[in-house]
Amino acid sequence: MRPLETRPETMSAIDEALAWHNGDARAAIAFLIADCAYLRWQLDLAGRAMGAGFTRGWRPRADRD
């Protein structure tokens, strides 16, 4: 299996993100970091709102293993 960075679907997503920001890599990265922070906040809210019985003790985590 090829590394994530060289897969065609990943390259297409990278090209699309750069095109959305008119080729400005810093703007694309800043946007993606802000989007990641927002999604982590949403995950934290969902984790606080769900009951332990509903998920049988599983809790969502923002960090990867």
Contacts of 4 (CB under 8 A, 6+ apart): 10
pLDDT at 47: 79
Average pLDDT of 18-40?
Answer: 94
The answer as to whether 61 is a domain residue is: no
Domain total of the chain: 1
User: Can you give the residue range of the structural domain that contains 21?
Assistant: 4-55
- Residue 26 resides in a domain: yes
In the predicted model, is pLDDT for residue 40 greater than 60? yes
Q: How far apart are CA 50 and CA 11, in angstroms?
A: 36
Q: Is the pTM of this model over 0.85?
A: no
Under a CB-based contact definition with an 8 Å cutoff, are residues 20 and 42 in contact?
A: no
